[in-house]
Structure 1
Amino acid sequence: MKKGDTVESAPATLAYRSVMEQYGYEVGKVIGNGSYGTVYEAYYTKQKVMVAVKIISKKKASEEYLNKFLPREIQVMKVLRHKYLINFYQAIETTTRVYIILELAQGGDVLEWIQRYGACSESQAGKWFSQLTLGIAYLHSKGIVHRCDPSLSAAGRDLKLENLLLDKRENVKISDFGFAKMVPSNHSVRSSPPYRQMSCFTHLSQTYCGSYAYACPEILLGLPYNPFLSDTWSMGVILYTLMVAHLPFDDTNFKKLLRETQKEVTFPANIAISQECKNLILHMFRHATKRATILDVIKDPWVIKFQTEQASQEIRLLEAMCQPPLGATATNRHQSMEIHS
């Protein structure tokens, strides 16, 4: 949600407050505004907890958003339950609005934190990045990528610092799944795929929207891209920015941005960054054929150092997802025997 947009008029405000009160929500201050509606802080009287309420105006929203993307957002969020993701609680629909009740992250977002305090210490960056890694590993294990559709590019929903919210204990909460994409598991692999031969990471997309500063080179070049590997590139941008307090690539000039993303990134000499951390960032900024998958990231020594809990469940889910389809191994073995016979 973008800040600073026009808030609804008084009669409309009274109408939604009345609806919310019927369901036990006392609506408080505005915490965000966007093209299609407004996000409010609210108190849920039945369970005595604070929540966030996203109120979407059907008059402002496009037909495509209301009929395609909003139902998909609700469908995706209903199946997601993870400590480092914003949780979905309830959706309420009336003739004029849709109300989405979400977990409230009271600590603002990571971008605001960096703008206020500057670069993170390596331990702070390690904490947030390891939490981000666990959240993205969970999403990828379910075949969900944190990306969006170009027809709604004004919404700018993608994996970036603004979408990393903080709870009151300053733990990361990944938000904004409005245009997340569910990728078929064990998608059929092309005969000569330009990406690595792992069934879970071979689905290619041709659509993108969001911030070009976080976009991988294949997106900037307009090529079909792997959305899982697009997410890990964006994670590299996030980790670099946590450590340095500015983006690794200048997106004010598209040609310059394209050149920069195709060269090895450099690190400021005046900021102390461990070689382990640099190695991880460089691994996430490689060409797609060699880029780190989320499985590589979650097993990285630098990430492991900052994990406060075992990532065994996430690793197990990802490894199971990455198994070749049933019969593929036998088929490949048969083909190999034919070649050598």
Structure 2
Amino acid sequence: MNEAVRIAIDAMGGDHGPSVVVPGAALALRERPGTRFLLVGDEAQIAPLLAREPALSAASEVVHTTVAVRMDDKPSQALRSGRRTSSMWMAIDAVKTGRADCVVSAGNTGALMAMSKICLRTMAHVDRPAIAAMWPTVKGVSIVLDVGASIGADAQHLVDLGIMGAAMARIVRGIERPSVGLLNVGVEEIKGLEEIKAAGRMLRELALPSLDYRGFVEGDDLGRGTVDVVVTEGFTGNIALKTAEGTAVQIGRYLREVMSANLMSKVGYWFARGAFAALREKMDPRGVNGGVFLGLDGVVIKSHGGTDAVGYARAIGVGHEMVSHDLLARIRDQLALSQDSQSAAAAAAALPGTAAVSAP
């Protein structure tokens, strides 16, 4: 894109609100000069923070509202009390009206999804949006979706997730034909729920040029980076995500306890501190902060609610990348291609004489 990317920010979202959002936007601006910001929230809280960041102030417009969605609000409650007037809704609406190219929020995930779906609507041929997360692996980063937007999925929805995830992977990883796998209880074709097995058959028969379907993958393949895109439904995906986050915290705590157990451990840590610093950087969740709501007719980025300015800047960076590489157009093109392929296959199957004939 030749024009500056315009990012609407829900400044009141998250555990810390403007105190993290504004410094995070300032960091993002230094990394991506030319970005424009629409900061939506309480001007009395935002203005003093902006005064400390002259470059960000010059690149920003503040839209005032004192209404904020609480982190513990139910989606229905947030819609009743915050629709049209909350910082979250107004930031999303800026994308709908064309004032911004994407929205970033660290606020309540359920409320953000509900408001985004109502305000922006879903793309053609997409029944339900999904949350795609960047998952650290031994090979780099994979895309995993859905990690919590909705529970359950039929075969067509899983196919759509694979197509949308592959479009995102091409942007994040720069891979022309990302590999895609369906998360299952085993790699054998006979295992798993019928919906997963049917989705596998559909992906194999479609043979889309935009992705390389590799079959089923298991839970331990997530960390190995066996495929570029892992597809699952939201209930399973969210459990996997929270398990991975908890395991990372557990390992970090074990390491701290072991390194401070006695004098020899502390001396060993001192000599290996460079290696531990590298490990800490690899395990830092801020480096992969920023979930993408795929399937909506607009780019919506969900930041972790408790992140700091560095993590929030990363979420803004994800939004910038999705807009710069025209994520929505890529998804629309590939979904349309999938629909055409399925329609052609259905038409061919309906023609007389196309049914398989048994040998005498």
Q: TM-score, normalised by structure 1?
A: 0.28
- Which structure has more relative contact order (CA 8 Å, sep 6+)? It is 2
Q: Which has the larger radius of gyration?
A: 2
